[in-house]
Amino acid sequence: MPTFAYTAIDTQGKQKKGRLDADDRGAAMVSIESLGLMPVDVSASSNGQSASKPVGGAGPGRLPFLPGSKRMKQKHVLAFIRQLGNLLAAGVPLARGLQILIRETSHDGAKEQWEAVRAMVIDGTPLADAIAQFPKSFPQVYVAMVRAGEAGGFLDVVLKQIADFMSRERELKSKISTALIYPAVLATIATGVVIFLLTWFIPRFSSIFDEFGQTLPLLTRIIQAASFALLNYGPFVLVGVIVTVLAVRQALTSAKGRRKRDEIVLRLPGIGAAAARFSLVRFCRMLGTLQGAGVPLIASLKVARAAIGNQTLTDAVDRAIENVQEGAPLARSLGECPQLFPSSVVEMVSVAEESGQISEELIRMAGEFEEELDRQLRVLVSLAEPAMLFMMASLVGLIVVGMLLPVFDLWDAIQ
């Protein structure tokens, strides 16, 4: 059995050296970690000499960095962060905790990413820098919080806060998705009914109208033209719709396109207020979490800004951050963006600043506004249902009336 020489760091940060027998380098690393040590260098020893190989090198038990890894489902990332925080809180060393999570993970894609993160951590890379290599799984917001936790020595606390934040985010997004299901179903049904009328119902009436030999009403001719286009040029219409959708999506990827889209969303009756409240909930919860984790105010504001999700409101917060950097109070700076921060919010933030309870108050407000957002969504859904039914009935009714108008004209002519 080969012998491996190692250099490791114990829980007090002291360097330890030693030798042990193991089947391979990966097994040696696991054995070192089981002693409560974090490997720094592990090398095979032969005839008193060792072929030094840092822990970060590729070898048995070591997965190389995967720059092209896919986005993990949020439930896998949430489980990783929460479980790692629990292990660190129980006193388990970081590298050992990562090894435990890798062993317990059943999802292959998640296992690969966690192995890559662990390998970089063992190399001496901070956890924040390691997870930053996977921006699809760990957004900048979480990376900044982990970095603050590592710097302050309370990484387990920060990981718990991230997990709680992610849980609330998932719950909030789930409410919004649920609220949109019924309107989406109605819109799909309406589209299907209109396509059926234009491709089956209208052509049969058109053949009858051709026998009349009279000029048809304008509405009837428009409906017939739409039916003719759909029947004879359906594939081209479908391609045109797809191209249009892709072009719009491409335009929205630019900063100018996102700002224009977000401006339109904020101006929509009802929807704009709900969108602004959703951004406020995310901003308050993130800023409160960061402040509770001991992150400086300016850094917290810059990170929380990324959680807003609306480019127009993000630009307004940028101006508020500039004011805070110049020495202005937080409440007064936020008050310059009334669309996101109403006067009641500014007053509560001002009182929290005076009392030194800014993190607690922001998180409390986030919970309160989330309940209010839930009520707003229920109201919007209750209004959207009859609105969609009315639109569907109006569209179908318009088609039916347009096809019956020639019949009424013919009846009048006969009389």
Mean pLDDT along residues 293-320: 78
Integer Rg of the chain from CA: 31
**Residue 62: band (very low, low, confident or very high) from pLDDT cuts 50, 70, 90:** very low
One domain for residues 94 and 191: no
Please indicate, yes or no, if residue 296 is contained in any of the structural domains: yes
326 CB contacts (<8 Å, ≥6 apart)? none
CATH number at 374 reads: 1.20.81.30
The whole-number pLDDT of residue 412 equals 63
Mapped onto helix, strand or coil, the DSSP state of residue 132 is coil
The whole-number pLDDT of residue 243 equals 92
The tally of CA atoms less than 13 A away on the side-chain side of residue 375 is 5
CA 399 to CA 238: how far, in whole Å?
21
Q: What percentage of the chain carries pLDDT values higher than 70?
A: 86
Please indicate, yes or no, if residue 28 is contained in any of the structural domains: yes
Sign of CA dihedral 52, 56, 58, 59: positive
One domain for residues 124 and 160: no
Please indicate, yes or no, if residue 61 is contained in any of the structural domains: no
Structure tokens at 291: 């402040």
Domain that holds residue 95: 74-138
Q: Quick check: 131 and 140 in contact, CB under 8 A?
A: no
More confident residue, 118 or 312: 118
Structure tokens at 270: 């009802």
Where does a domain end: 104, 138, 172?
138
Mean pLDDT along residues 112-123: 87
CA 318 to CA 315: how far, in whole Å?
5
CA 415 to CA 411: how far, in whole Å?
6
One domain for residues 134 and 159: no
One domain for residues 116 and 179: no
One domain for residues 238 and 130: no
What is the reported pTM? 0.58
Q: For the chain, give me the number of helices (H) and strands (E)?
A: 17, 4
Mean pLDDT along residues 306-312: 74
Rounded-to-5 percentages of helix, strand, coil across the chain = 70, 5, 20
One domain for residues 189 and 42: no
Where does residue 349 rank: exposed (0-12), middle (13-18), buried (19+ CB within 10 A)?
buried
Crossing angle between the packed helical segments 343-355 and 358-414, to the nearest 10 degrees: 170
Residue identified by tokens 């951050």 is: 321
**Which H or E run contains 293?**
none
The whole-number pLDDT of residue 52 equals 43
Q: How far is CA 132 from CA 117, 137, 260, in A?
A: 9, 9, 30
262 CB contacts (<8 Å, ≥6 apart)? 310, 311, 312, 313
Tens digit of each residue's pLDDT (9 = 90 or more) over 119-175: 888 888 889 888 888 888 888 778 877 877 787 677 888 888 788 878 877 877 787
One domain for residues 264 and 309: yes
**Which H or E run contains 5?**
strand 3-9
More confident residue, 293 or 274: 274
Tens digit of each residue's pLDDT (9 = 90 or more) over 42-54: 777 654 444 444 4
Provide the number of structural domains found in the chain: 3
Please indicate, yes or no, if residue 60 is contained in any of the structural domains: no
Q: Quick check: 394 and 194 in contact, CB under 8 A?
A: no
Please indicate, yes or no, if residue 68 is contained in any of the structural domains: no
Please indicate, yes or no, if residue 58 is contained in any of the structural domains: no
One domain for residues 230 and 294: yes
Q: Quick check: 161 and 145 in contact, CB under 8 A?
A: yes
One domain for residues 254 and 399: yes
Mean pLDDT along residues 26-47: 68
The whole-number pLDDT of residue 64 equals 41
Chain-centre distance for alpha carbon 58: 33
Residue 375 has pLDDT above 80, yes or no: yes
Which neighbouring-strand residues pair with 15?
Answer: 9
CA 62 to CA 78: how far, in whole Å?
24
One domain for residues 233 and 298: yes
Please indicate, yes or no, if residue 82 is contained in any of the structural domains: yes
Tens digit of each residue's pLDDT (9 = 90 or more) over 75-95: 888 888 989 989 998 888 888
Q: What percentage of the chain carries pLDDT values higher than 90?
A: 1
One domain for residues 201 and 349: yes
Which neighbouring-strand residues pair with 4?
Answer: 20, 44
* 26-35, 43-52, 263-272, range with greatest mean pLDDT: 263-272
Q: Which amino acid is at 170?
A: R
- Give 54's DSSP letter: B
Please indicate, yes or no, if residue 236 is contained in any of the structural domains: yes
Mean pLDDT along residues 372-392: 81
Tens digit of each residue's pLDDT (9 = 90 or more) over 211-266: 766 677 888 888 888 888 888 888 888 898 899 988 888 887 777 777 788 888 88
One domain for residues 130 and 159: no
More confident residue, 222 or 207: 222
